[in-house]
Chains A and B, each alone.
Chain A
Amino acid sequence: MTATVEIRQLSHRYGDFAALSNINLTIEAGSFAVLLGPSGCGKTTLLSVLGGFLHPSEGSVRLNGEDVTHLEPAKRPTTTMFQDYALFPHMNLLDNVGFGLRMRGQSKHDRNLRAMELLTLVNLESSARNKPHELSGGQRQRVALARALAVDPDVLLLDEPLGALDLKLRRQMQDELKAIQRRVGTTFIHVTHDQEEAMAIANNIIVMNAGQVEDTGSPESIYLTPKTLFSAAFMGEANFLSGRVQSTIDNELIIDTELGTVSIGKHADVNSNIGADDAVSLCFRPEHLRINQPANESLLPLGTATITDNAFFGTHQRCQLTASNNEHYSAHLSQLSPALHNTDVNIGVERNSIVLLRSD
């Protein structure tokens, strides 16, 4: 089963501190959504509200159109997978996974069958009679997932479930989570502060900061066309060049920047709200910064810069540059490009990769 989650004008305060302010969000049924943000951004608070562990100060939560804002956790069609797994230490895996069904009055025979089915789904059928303390972290993780899915929830809430695992296991669990989500079709809402994890599993990312939603969209759209400076900086590495709009001519914005006057094409959807005299920031990714490339139509030249450092990252080389405005920029060069340490180079950016954002 699955459900659409609608969050309307949701706010929550702890005393004077606004943990969530005016959140409006729709998460489509059957999607794998990720709440992404730094610690303290309110993502876990939002998850607690969705799970029913916290009653918001204002606003509403609807699942498939039904208002569940003040429904107890036990009564709503959501289950939570806790960060510390929260398995019942005195029960074996079968009883752990079958607990929700036991609470729903299913017979021991039926719930054991279903629990076994789910343990098979997470590849733990051979450990059904073991206690949680006999398992590794990754295995406990899977039991927690099986237990949460056993009651056939409409929405599964995952509270940083991969935080305690090592990198390799985390990658593996990300793939498994994604595969299982596709198979069961339940709406998954996953909280993390790790943008790589978000990109790996989500089909819908919600970037949060200081209790507000900064940006929502697919991993591609958030990475390539972030809607705010925060979103651009949080989702991967980004370079910023600040400036002020001088004028708009036809479909071009003329912008005075620290690295000269540039003109940027106006996009209807992205920067339509930017006009003359606005403070703006040109945002571009390191892989779109070009070094010593001949001038052409699609390249926006940004003068010269000095390479201060470079490091080999396997798939690419990461270069640190200091441009003529004394700002630092980073560029990703191809794997085998020669080390250009301490040399002066011409830099430029792919025009169509630049995202123009208001910086006030």
Chain B
Amino acid sequence: MLGQRLKSFGVWTYVTLLYGFIFLPVGVLVLFSFQDSRLPVMPFKGPTLKWYEAVLSDSRLVDSMINSLMVALSSSLVAVVLGFLAAYGLARMHLPAKGLQRALLTAPLTVSYLIIALGLLIMFNALGVPSSLWTIGIGHVVINVPLCFAIIYSQMGDHQINIERAAHDLGAGDMQTLWLVTAPMMMPSILASFFLSVTFSWDEFIIAFLLSRFDVTLPVEIWGMLRSGLSPKTNAAGSLVFLISVSLLILAELLVFRKLKKQ
């Protein structure tokens, strides 16, 4: 009996410590965004929503939030289309050195964002392309294509080949089959990779920092705020970033991952 109890006590302590370790920083961040004083430090006073009001009435912050959203949505769209086409090509066509091509496509997943950002910066400089939201977007496409490719490719099984054959057999051309059969059939993994790309792009900092100039994304703007010292306003902005990321993941879970599991 006692051994049993000790064991379950041990398990609960471990679980509490583990989740505490993961979520305490976020919890503290969110908590002090409601701080009713000028500094986000103990003791907690409040709560108040004035810092959220300050964030939403700060036009630079709101602009950067819109920038982030635009970059995230458009770069993810491009990354998904490219990832899907690459997955389709590698899964269905006779291509030379398939293994190598697959490795090359997924390799950027292992390269640090800093290296990718530096590489892009040097390249854009050499080509005379000025830094802008476009260059950030391109950077995010670079980091998200391998992810989209890997997710979609993993879901392209041989059991779908006959379904595509059936479409051809019934008179569909290559593009019609791709558009009417393959893409809808792959929709759960396409949506999954889209949502993940959006979340990754949404709070990506290094590439956005190195490849931006006048228009910046939200993480870069928050970094700018941090340079002038801690403030609950920064916490509020960070909490909003977190809130939107979490909402996206929940949306993805509800819309996509459940369906994927069912299949």
- Residues of A near any B CB (own CB < 8 A): 51-53, 72-74, 78-80, 82-84, 86-90, 99-100, 103-104, 147-148, 151
The 8 Å CB contact of A103, one of B159, B170, B185, B187, is B170
Task: State the CA gap A88–B172 with chains docked (Å).
Answer: 13
Extra pairs beyond A103-B170, A104-B171 (13, CB < 8 Å): A52-B169, A53-B169, A73-B168, A74-B173, A84-B159, A86-B165, A88-B185, A99-B167, A99-B170, A100-B170, A147-B170, A148-B170, A151-B171
Contacts of A78 in B (CB 8 A): 169
Flag if A90 contacts B185 (CB, 8 Å).
yes
Task: State the CA gap A72–B171 with chains docked (Å).
Answer: 9
Flag if B172 contacts A103 (CB, 8 Å).
yes
Contact string, B169-193, partner A, CB cutoff 8 A, digits 1/0?
A: 1111100100011001101000000
Contacts of B169 in A (CB 8 A): 51-53, 73-74, 78-80
Q: Which residue of A lies closest to B262 (CB)?
A: A133
Task: State the CA gap A90–B179 with chains docked (Å).
Answer: 13
Q: Which residue of A lies closest to B176 (CB)?
A: A103
Number of A-B residue pairs at CB separation under 8 A: 59
Q: How far is the CB of A88 from chain B (nearest CB, A)?
A: 6
Flag if B165 contacts A53 (CB, 8 Å).
yes
The 8 Å CB contact of A84, one of B162, B173, B176, B187, is B162
Task: State the CA gap A77–B192 with chains docked (Å).
Answer: 39
Flag if B165 contacts A73 (CB, 8 Å).
yes
Task: State the CA gap A84–B164 with chains docked (Å).
Answer: 12
The 8 Å CB contact of B170, one of A53, A72, A90, A151, is A151
Q: How far is the CB of A204 from chain B (nearest CB, A)?
A: 23
Residue in B165, B170, B176, B187 whose Cβ sees the most chain A Cβ within 10 Å: B170
Flag if A86 contacts B170 (CB, 8 Å).
no
Q: Provided the pairs A100-B170, A103-B172 are in contact, do residues A82 and B165 lie with their beta carbons within 8 angstroms? A: yes
> Which 9 A-B pairs rank lowest in CB-CB distance, beginning with the nearest?
A100-B170, A103-B171, A86-B162, A86-B166, A90-B184, A73-B169, A86-B163, A82-B162, A74-B171
